[in-house]
Structure 1
């Protein structure tokens, strides 16, 4: 059976500090995992959709751990390959003090960076409803960039919606430099149907913080839908030749872990579109998903089920549907 959403990219093992303070003083770690694309795939699975994630992991115990865990979350991992030429990537999460989390990546030359267009299952892409991509994969290596553009080509040939979250990682730009990375991200965005940057990312990419200007620049390239996230305040949405506006974020009194919230939000938007909701309604649903994610530790632990999202919206708004205004 074909998946509703196909995605691909790097997922790493996360070693989260078991106590606060600089890592030099930390003696124990909790083992978790996270990766933008697999986070979205898991988020969609929890929301009741069929998702498929492709990647390369090291031929090591960490690689086996990732496949086992992501498959256990209901994601199709049949197209993840073990690669003997490089290890699975790692990252460490440090908690200096409440509200001050830092992340250190050990991913250079990881197995996922050797992903190529030949690792793509073109038949799965051709049969899916949405192909979801991020800018992280595009910055991992030249072979990953080639795979991104090949996947878009296949999707376009089969009328598959292409979703793109720039998900900027400035530490990955060394190989290309900022200008080169900016051009690559913009080139991918121009070929997508749905683009979902954060407001700061949009400004870095297009030189303006005016959301309507950013949307118009993307529409001129052929993009059909734009969603711009502005942290805990609101999300802007616009359709090419159609409606646009802002959807307020849900108020969260205590943020436990903000990492992964954007991936949850992306899963929420895609879920809404799969359910034939309007873009506005999809963004409203996604805002609730994001709010629930930041209320829990870890990248994927807080990803909610559909019933949890609907209950949360009802509790916050006093009804079971509609858009927060």
Structure 2
């Protein structure tokens, strides 16, 4: 990876709480950290509370190799904590509100960062309250030269059809999972066939790249009018938290480095599978570990539409 393209992730940084333990998380942070481990030039725009929990979170953030220049300190709202329940593929989240990242402010620094970005990664959770929602849409308007990457990341009850539809119209790449696709199928009257539904999303929202993750069953990628399939890698799952974020980081890294769509999908499925074999959304990994997954049997087919 050259690391030459500037990537900006926007959204929540928080503590994922597992019983008595906790780890730094939030999809935007998870994606950013994986991108950094892949050698990419990435920054995160977020907010924490001006409290002990926020100081601790910022310490972990900086230990991961990030500058805290674009992470705001909120005087009135607490640092976000999310209760994570379940294991394996069955996980639920209790996300409290309002928290610091619900009050993300526009600043000269973060607007300039977004204007210079070549890729902008965002999710739907940041749009649940008006202040951060308005900031996010201003970022999307300001990012004139960036590829806009929408990780739908629906977390009930923190989303609405109106917000998702508005964000979809900005997206150059959309990533979603099977449960999220079922919701979009009902909202937008799409086909019940996943591949056809992805094509309809591509056409309806003028989005050239749409990717569906399917857990242990791999993924489907629609890229510039063609469909690519991966059946997934068979691994022993320890913790599925963060696998989708690792997948997206690998997808973005691959496409920005001009790997072919097939190479990118293979790489993304491998990193997602590797992450599921580790505990925690932000477990460290090495290129040798990813390569070991890549060296197992590969199942990729593609066809044009």
1:166 to 152, 169, 172: 152
User: Is the contact between residue 87 and residue 111 of structure 1 (CA under 8 Å) also seen in structure 2?
Assistant: yes
Distance 2:94 2:27 in 1: 14
User: Is the contact between residue 206 and residue 214 of structure 1 (CA under 8 Å) also seen in structure 2?
Assistant: no
* Equivalence for 1:223: 207
Q: Relative to 1, partners in 2 of residues 1:76 and 1:280: Cα closer, same or farther, differing over 3 Å? A: farther
1:85 to 67, 76, 85: 76
Distance 1:87 1:270 in 2: 31
User: Is the contact between residue 46 and residue 306 of structure 1 (CA under 8 Å) also seen in structure 2?
Assistant: no
**Pairwise CA distance, 1:104:** 5.0
- Say yes or no: does 1:202 pair with 2:145: no
Q: Relative to 1, partners in 2 of residues 1:251 and 1:160: Cα closer, same or farther, differing over 3 Å? A: same
1:5-154 matches, within 5 Å, as: 5-17=7-19, 29-94=20-85, 99=88, 103=92, 105=94, 107-118=96-107, 121-139=110-128, 141-154=129-142
* Equivalence for 2:234: 251
Q: Relative to 1, partners in 2 of residues 1:230 and 1:99: Cα closer, same or farther, differing over 3 Å? A: closer
Q: Deviations over 1:164-201 (max 9, x none)?
A: 1100001324xxxxxxx022112211211001111221
Distance 2:113 2:89 in 1: 41
Distance 2:118 2:289 in 1: 25
Query: How many pairs are equivalent?
Result: 294
Q: Which runs of 5+ in 2 are unaligned?
A: none
**Partner of 1:222: helix, strand, or coil?**
coil
- Say yes or no: does 1:310 pair with 2:291: yes
User: Is the contact between residue 228 and residue 261 of structure 2 (CA under 8 Å) also seen in structure 1?
Assistant: no
Distance 1:101 1:219 in 2: 32
**Pairwise CA distance, 1:154:** 1.2
TM-score, normalisation: structure 2:
0.88
Distance 2:180 2:108 in 1: 29
1:287 to 244, 260, 269: 269
**Partner of 1:171: helix, strand, or coil?**
coil
**Pairwise CA distance, 1:153:** 1.0
**Pairwise CA distance, 1:32:** 1.3
User: Is the contact between residue 266 and residue 286 of structure 1 (CA under 8 Å) also seen in structure 2?
Assistant: yes
Distance 2:4 2:101 in 1: 24
Q: Relative to 1, partners in 2 of residues 1:243 and 1:2: Cα closer, same or farther, differing over 3 Å? A: closer
Q: Relative to 1, partners in 2 of residues 1:99 and 1:282: Cα closer, same or farther, differing over 3 Å? A: closer
Distance 2:162 2:109 in 1: 24
**Partner of 2:45: helix, strand, or coil?**
strand
